[in-house]
Amino acid sequence: MAVNMKGKDLISINDLTVEEIYQIFDLSRALKEKQLTGESHHYLSGKTLGMIFHKRSTRTRISFEVGIYQLGGIGMYFGPDDLQLGKSENIYDSAKVLSRYLDGLMIRTFSHQDVLDLAKHSDIPVINGLTDLLHPCQVLTDLFTIIEKKRILKGLKFAYIGDGNNMAHSILHGCSKVGINVAIASPSGYTPQKEIVENAARNAKYMGSKVEIIEDPIYAVRDADIVYTDVWASMGQESEASERRKHFMKYQINPELVKNAKDDYLFMHCLPAHRGDEVVDEVIDSVNSVVFDEAENRLHVQKAIMALVM
């Protein structure tokens, strides 16, 4: 039986049930097929999505804006200087006002607390498009892409190599929820937050899978079905890029490292990629790479999320 998700916020994958996650995947698959065959799917006709961006964006903005349009609705873009949100108007008042005008909100911002506050005070569903803590829409897309390629999730091995950032956090949530064994390899001082690791460990225990936080990238990649990385310095950390590069060079995804993965491993990256830093051309452009399928699927998965919650 389908789970009713109407009105539900999507702040963290950890807040979703396994049934809700697979419902998102099932609808993503159906919407992708409809889009490819040209079948109309105006599930959100007359609905309006507010899109708040405090961070610049390529994939998030375009996929949400195109997605709401393809669902028959309208997307309204608000840049960093377009709203009073958290500036001359507090989040409580802004949330109440926006709830009177809109049918849903997507926000891409720095502070995770801002998203929590917006969701707490809004009367419409709030979708986390990215914060410094989490990136749930991306990882739901990653898992959907893995299903397309591997046909299964439970029991696979997922190796994430690099910074213990918002991507690592959502990967921990997502993999542990669906029974994927996940190994995170990060240098000392750049590991994921303890609370998120503990949450993932509890989920993994329930699902019969493993969570490993280690420093050795070779060990993490050994026999992996998926090899994943992200930029070494995220948006807002540009001043740290040079220092971070010193710590992360041995975490580069290159042909020598991926020899340790399974022959049919998938290489994934949320993009944008800094070629020559966290990954080299020989890997990102290889037959194992699915980064552009992954990028496309942001559209289909986010359409499913919007259709279910709005």
Catalytic: which of 61, 173, 298, 300? 298
Terminal alpha carbon distance of the chain = 19
50 pLDDT above the threshold of 90: yes
Mean pLDDT, to the nearest integer, of 137-147? 98
Domain encompassing residue 239: 138-294
Catalytic: which of 135, 169, 173, 244? 135
Residues 151, 123 share a domain: no
Q: How many domains does the chain have?
A: 2
Residues 106, 175 share a domain: no
Residues 165, 24 share a domain: no
Query: Is 135 tagged catalytic?
Result: yes
Residues 37, 175 share a domain: no
Structure tokens at 186: 């990060």
Mean pLDDT, to the nearest integer, of 15-24? 98
Asked if the structure places residue 117 within a domain, the reply is: yes
Residues 91, 194 share a domain: no
- Say if residue 3 is exposed, middle or buried (CB neighbours under 10 Å; 0-12, 13-18, 19+): middle
Residues 114, 177 share a domain: no
Mean pLDDT, to the nearest integer, of 259-264? 98
Residues 275, 154 share a domain: yes
One-letter amino acid at 87 equals K
Query: Is 175 tagged catalytic?
Result: no
Residues 122, 100 share a domain: yes
Residues 303, 168 share a domain: no
CATH code at 64? 3.40.50.1370
Catalytic: which of 163, 225, 230, 277? 230
- What is the rounded CA–CA span in Å between residue 202 and residue 132? 23
More confident residue, 19 or 241: 19
Low-confidence winner among 42-46, 76-80, 239-243 (lowest mean pLDDT):
239-243
Catalytic: which of 108, 173, 244, 269? 108
Catalytic: which of 173, 252, 270, 277? 270
- What is the rounded CA–CA span in Å between residue 259 and residue 273? 21
Structure tokens at 177: 């929820």
Asked if the structure places residue 5 within a domain, the reply is: no
Query: Is 302 tagged catalytic?
Result: no
Residues 54, 185 share a domain: no
pLDDT for the residue 1:
52
Within 8 A by CB and 6+ apart from 199, the residues are 14, 172, 173, 176
67-121 pLDDT per residue, tens: 999 999 999 999 988 887 877 789 999 999 999 999 999 999 999 999 999 999 9
pLDDT for the residue 156:
98
Show the DSSP H helices in the chain as ranges.
18-37, 59-70, 91-101, 112-121, 136-150, 166-178, 194-207, 217-221, 241-248, 255-258, 281-284, 291-309
Residues 109, 26 share a domain: yes
139 vs 33, 149, 168, 240, 270, CA distance in Å?
Answer: 21, 15, 9, 25, 9
238 pLDDT above the threshold of 80: no
- Sorting pLDDT into bands at 50, 70 and 90, what band is 234? confident
Asked if the structure places residue 171 within a domain, the reply is: yes
Asked if the structure places residue 4 within a domain, the reply is: no
| Cβ–Cβ < 8 Å for 163, 186 | yes
pLDDT for the residue 162:
97
Query: Is 230 tagged catalytic?
Result: yes
Asked if the structure places residue 1 within a domain, the reply is: no
175-220 pLDDT per residue, tens: 999 999 999 999 999 999 999 999 999 999 999 999 999 999 999 9
Asked if the structure places residue 36 within a domain, the reply is: yes
Residues 142, 290 share a domain: yes
Mean pLDDT, to the nearest integer, of 36-47? 97
Asked if the structure places residue 3 within a domain, the reply is: no
Asked if the structure places residue 7 within a domain, the reply is: no
